[in-house]
Amino acid sequence: MTRRTLEIESLAQLDDHLARIASLAGCYLQGLDLTGRATLAGVEVAGAVFLGCRFDPGADDDLRARGGLIFPALPGVPFDPYRNALYAARELYDTAAYADSLDARSYAWRQGHVPEPGIDDTLAMALHDHSIGDALADALRPYPARDLIGIMGGHAIRRDEPAYREAAELGRELTRAGRLVLTGGGPGAMEAANLGALLAPREDDALTQACAMLAQVPDFRPSIEDWAGAAFAVLDRFGGPDAGASVGIPTWFYGHEPPNVFATMIAKYFSNALREDTLLTRSRGGIACLPGAAGTVQEIFAATTENYYAPDPELIAPMVLIGVEHWTERLPAWQLLTALGRDRPMGAYLHLAPDAAAAGRALLG
């Protein structure tokens, strides 16, 4: 028999559950403030798991004695290892000075614990990334897998370059067609794609206005604060509850890449390997690769491995490389891809597009 499990991530959800059944057996309670919850004294807790919850003094000892499993809060870390939701942009940029923000503090903490982190450090990062993966799974559950399309591309594309506008138009087109755009969550092409998705419900001129505002601070160097400030000004003007949804999946492995603020769902990981695998595995509706460098090449061939060994063509994600000169001459990945796909089912799912408009047509069929 499969064991019943239930994730409880809010006090309202807890109260609703206990109103129906006085048992937490099989339940996972995540990041809840349980101080003052005397009602737990009469509740069955054997088999319940408490992840980073807060208790009245002695209440945790009582829960352990009755069979509850408690994962305590971890001291000395600037992030919540047991968080039960994805990040929002203003949560990561929670201070006026970027150096003091949650995003920067978490990166600085990580840098202070490499190259040989202790077991408590690796545990904290693993617990955090597990929580993020769980929150992402919850967020994506309403979306059919084939509606999720990844847009990959380099972080070096500036906001005042034509390539930035092109990436934004691709994100907008896919979102308007009912797809959910996923990116690596950083600057450059990634930011542009998330921006296009955000503006998909707006008039076409909104993207022109947004790009003009962003071009005043075209790069996150030398000032992440100015770069993010320009983005928040766009978000304040064009965001809101009716803005287009998209996902950003950045990492603290690359501290020089701040997260962009236009993704409405941000799944930030410590492990870059887990982040990359999550991004590519989730992009079942297809992968568009804008011009990029080593990181984009890595993503291309990680996705190719999954497609190459896919046991069923239904599991192959279409792949579109955007930019003929870039992918055939500057970084000739196209020739290797087509050689790999020549005698494999994945060969039929490879496309080389001259521009983002052609890529959109290939992905949307």
How high is the pLDDT of residue 232?
98
Closest CA to 150 of 320, 334, 293, 22: 320
What does the pLDDT average to over 91-117?
A: 93
How high is the pLDDT of residue 256?
74
State in words which class domain 144-364 has.
alpha beta
Per residue in 154-184, pLDDT (tens digit) is 999 999 999 999 999 999 999 999 999 999 9
Owner of token pair 């600037």: 78
- The more confident residue out of 74 and 280 is 280
How high is the pLDDT of residue 113?
83
How high is the pLDDT of residue 1?
37
Owner of token pair 């579109």: 320
What does the pLDDT average to over 90-96?
A: 97
Indicate if the pLDDT at residue 203 is higher than 90. Answer: yes
Indicate if the pLDDT at residue 74 is higher than 90. Answer: no
How high is the pLDDT of residue 133?
97
Which residues are registered as beta bridge partners of 6? 27
Indicate if the pLDDT at residue 73 is higher than 90. Answer: no
Indicate if the pLDDT at residue 39 is higher than 80. Answer: no
Percent above pLDDT 90 for the chain? 90
DSSP string, 292-353: --HHHHHHHHHHHHHHHT-SSGGGPPPEEEE-HHIIIIIS-HHHHHHHHHTTSGGGGGEEEE
Per residue in 308-358, pLDDT (tens digit) is 999 999 999 999 999 999 999 999 999 999 999 999 999 999 999 999 999
How high is the pLDDT of residue 75?
85
How high is the pLDDT of residue 263?
98
Query: How many C-beta atoms lie closer than 10 Å to residue 18's C-beta?
Result: 18
Band (2; pLDDT cuts 50, 70, 90): very low
Indicate if the pLDDT at residue 7 is higher than 60. Answer: yes
Distance CA 29, CA 7 (A): 6
Contact 24, 4 (CB under 8 A): no
Which residues are registered as beta bridge partners of 352? 321
- The more confident residue out of 359 and 257 is 359
How high is the pLDDT of residue 9?
92
Distance CA 347, CA 352 (A): 12
How high is the pLDDT of residue 4?
63
- C-alpha torsion angle, residues 182, 228, 219, 294 (rounded to 10): -30
What does the pLDDT average to over 189-202?
A: 98
How high is the pLDDT of residue 37?
81
Distance CA 153, CA 189 (A): 5
Hey, is 152 helix, strand or coil?
A: strand
What does the pLDDT average to over 68-89?
A: 93
Query: How many C-beta atoms lie closer than 10 Å to residue 96's C-beta?
Result: 9
DSSP string, 277-293: HHHHHH-TTEEEE-S--
What does the pLDDT average to over 286-303?
A: 94
pTM, two decimal places: 0.93
- Where are the chain's structural domains? 6-71, 89-134, 144-364
